[in-house]
Amino acid sequence: MHEVEYKSSGVPLETYELARGDHRRQKQGEETSQWAQRQIDEDIAKCRADPARAERRRQAFEEAAKLMRSFKKADHEIMRWRIRLYCGHIVEKQAHYTYADPVSAGVGSERCDECKGKQSTIVAFEPIGLRAEPPKLTVPMPPPPPKKPTRAELERRVKALEEENERLRAKLTTG
């Protein structure tokens, strides 16, 4: 795992005061949600009118869900975040550990359970920690490289090889 410097914004979360930009982002988020809901409603109407389209859509969603499940990450790859929502509630969310903050992980807003599922912009956040500790690496240490022979050891080896060479030559000429 590579090191990531995690960011915090607006801490302590409990006393965070909303800024002008927070109000603007919340309004933009609400407008985007309304636009998306209109698109969904149009698509649902088209699917009701065309059963073949509805079946293709169902299959596409099924395949997408299957693909997303195949990318399940290990607990030590998930960073936990405390986030303060525009509505004032503080919740915990999770994102892949490679993101320095939850907003860059694509979580710009959340549905608040305490506000009956209303979409609320993230206005402040702080990292809590990984969901689990990374596993300890158990790679065995390689053996140390063989030590280089000393000059005296090399000279003894050369002398022994020369003597053996002479003995073999003598045996070859007499044999």
DSSP 117-141: TEEEEEEEEEEEEESSPPPPP-PPP
pLDDT digits (tens, 9 = 90+) for 43-96: 999 999 999 999 999 999 999 999 988 888 889 999 999 999 999 999 999 999
Section 107-124 average pLDDT: 88
pLDDT of residue 165: 92
For the sheet with 78-85, list strands across it: 90-96, 78-85, 118-130, 109-112
Q: What is the pTM of this model?
A: 0.67
Q: Which of 78, 47, 71, 73 is nearest to 60 (CA)?
A: 47
User: Over 80: is that where the pLDDT of 107 sits?
Assistant: no
Mean pLDDT confidence for 13-25: 95
**Two structure tokens written together for 28:** 């933009």
- 3-state DSSP assignment of residue 171: helix
Give the pLDDT of residue 72.
83
Q: Is 10 helix (H, G, I), strand (E, B) or coil?
A: coil
CA dihedral 138, 143, 144, 147 (to 10 degrees): 180
Q: What is the pLDDT of residues 95-105, one digit of tens each?
A: 999 999 999 98
Whole-number pLDDT of residue 149: 87
Residue with tokens 């302590």: 12
Interval 141-156 mean pLDDT: 87
- Kindly state the average pLDDT of the residues 162-174: 89
Give alpha helix (H) positions in 50-150. Answer: 51-70
- Given a cut of 80, is residue 120 above it in pLDDT? yes
* Average pLDDT of every residue of the chain: 90
